[in-house]
Amino acid sequence: MIAEQNDKIKGAYHDSKNIYDGVLTQGNILSKAYIKFFWGGTDDIAITQRMLSFIPDEFSGTILDVPCGTAVFTDTKWKKLTAAKIICLDYSEDMLRQARQRLNGVGHISLCQGDVGVLPFESQSIDVVMSMNGFHAFPDKIKAFDETCRVLKTGGQFIACFYIRGQLRRTDWVVNHVLAPKGWFTPPFHTEGEVRKLLEERYSEVEIHTDNAILWCVCRK
């Protein structure tokens, strides 16, 4: 089942590889209108920038960016963090290829293909896990919560944003009728209350914010 879902996800991100950045960065009037409608006016780009602002430019630990996608929101910040070690991981080779074009040759950044459900890193080896727009795409969300927590050091931070169900009818409708059937989003989707419980079971400090159908959080292990 998970293997089938992974194939569907790979196919979906293969098909959208040429339009992904344009739509997400609202590069034209149509994508601007779509994103505004989809998130109910919430500024999702501002949320990603807010999340990155939690990491100071002089940070010197290890950061895992999962899923890194094409690195469209992160490349400028990651390039600035020259004292850090940054690992960018994604399941889709099509997305990674574009991330490599942005980040290849930057000494403190490495990129790898992998599955968030079986992270190829030792337990307690990462200082910050950054997960932007990933949990609504991951097929096995419990494994993803478990694995991202396992690799974090005690005291390490989990910073994430993703879609949650039950906040905005129009977002739920588009997710259920378009994005999930295509494979860009993958059920089951959690509510804010469910996410809170999953995080509180794993982290000693949990700060959660919701803005329409986007949840973003900063947690400490």
Ligand X SMILES: C[S@@+](CC[C@H](N)C(=O)[O-])C[C@H]1O[C@@H](n2cnc3c(N)ncnc32)[C@H](O)[C@@H]1O
Rounded to an integer, what distance in angstroms lies between the CA atom of residue 86 and that of residue 83? 10
C-beta separation of 12 from 184 below 8 A: yes
Find the shortest distance in angstroms from Cβ 32 to ligand X.
17
For residue 120, what is the DSSP state? S
Find the shortest distance in angstroms from Cβ 204 to ligand X.
25
Radius of gyration of the chain (CA): 16
Of 69 and 156, CB closest to ligand X? 69
Binding of ligand X by 39 (CB under 6 A): no
Binding of ligand X by 69 (CB under 6 A): yes
Binding mask 103-142 for ligand X (x = CB under 6 A): ------------xxx--------------xxx--xx----
50-88 exposure pattern, b = at least 16 Cβ within 10 A, e = fewer: ebbeebeeebebbbbbbbbbbbbbbbebbeebeebbbbb
Neighbours of 6 (CB within 10 A): 19
Binding mask 80-99 for ligand X (x = CB under 6 A): ----------xxx--x----
Q: Given the rule CB under 6 A, which residues bind ligand X?
A: 9, 13, 24, 66-69, 72-73, 90-92, 95, 115-117, 132-134, 137-138
